Amino acid sequence: MKTSGKILLAPSLLSADFSRLAEEIRDVENAGCDWLHVDVMDGHFVPNLTIGPVVVNAIRKVTKMPLDVHLMIDAPGRYIEEFRKAGADWITLHVEAEKDIRETLLAIKRLGAKAGLSLRPKTTIAELEPYLNDLDLILVMSVEPGFGGQSFMPETMAKVKTLRSKFSKLISVDGGIDPKNASQAIVAGANVLVAGSAIFGKKDRGQAIQDFREVCKKSS
């Protein structure tokens, strides 16, 4: 399935300096990033704990970038409304984390947000397939969810390729993405690149983003 349009860059806030969030966000916004990726972790679905709706609400006030909220939490349906009220534009849950997937996706849309579904590296496409028509975005994890700074798993790109043959909307890749491996994701069919360490982890975000843009131009 052919995709058209630009590759979107979504820096993951997890690698930002949390003592100066507003400045960090402005930095990547001024450097031309498209979305801000916000990783929500509950200490159950993944071992790590991060942020909740209160922080999303604060972030909403300092940026015009769409907020791409990645829920790595059990039973995410409980919190959809709160995250939407806080300002989430895209809400992605994990297929492994919710019993009532379809109802949760529909709830996200009823609230006026875009609905995404993510899968861990070991989760098969078959688990996600029943929901393809309900989705605005698929987020393919290219590391085990839970922490920034892990190594990209190239074998997960086969899933991107297969999904691209079945799904024409946005496919996002998340985990260990940098300008060196981004072309593998783009060639497989991804059109959103999430990157934490490779953007917020760099001193010169403008340069990091320019490096990504070069690869996007060459590979798409």
Name the residues annotated as catalytic: 39, 174
Stretch that binds Zn ion, among 46-54, 62-70, 147-155, 179-187 (CB under 5 A): 62-70
Side-chain-facing half-sphere of 87: CA atoms under 13 Å: 20
Choice from 16, 37, 69, 182 touching ligand DX5 (CB under 6 A): 37
Residue 42, interface with Zn ion (CB under 5 A)? no
Choice from 105, 143, 173, 208 touching ligand DX5 (CB under 6 A): 143
Task: Assess contact for 153 and 177: CB atoms under 8 A.
Answer: no
Beta-carbon contacts of residue 203 (< 8 Å; ≥ 6 apart): none
Among Zn ion, ligand DX5, none, residue 94 binds (CB under 5-8 Å by kind): none
Choice from 149, 180, 210, 214 touching ligand DX5 (CB under 6 A): 149
Give whichever of 104 and 118 is closer to ligand DX5, judged by the CB atom.
Answer: 118
Residues 141 and 99: their CA atoms lie apart, in Å, by 20
Residues 178 and 34: their CA atoms lie apart, in Å, by 16
- Nearest C-alpha neighbor of 200 from the set 7, 38, 8: 38
143 forms bridges with which residues in the sheet?
A: none
26 is written with which tokens? 């402005």
Choice from 15, 63, 92, 191 touching ligand DX5 (CB under 6 A): 15
Task: Assess contact for 31 and 209: CB atoms under 8 A.
Answer: yes
Among Zn ion, ligand DX5, none, residue 162 binds (CB under 5-8 Å by kind): none
Residue 76, interface with ligand DX5 (CB under 6 A)? no
Residue ranges that bind ligand DX5, judged by CB under 6 A:
12, 14-15, 37, 39, 70, 143, 145-150, 174-177, 194-198
Residue ranges that bind Zn ion, judged by CB under 5 A:
39, 70, 174
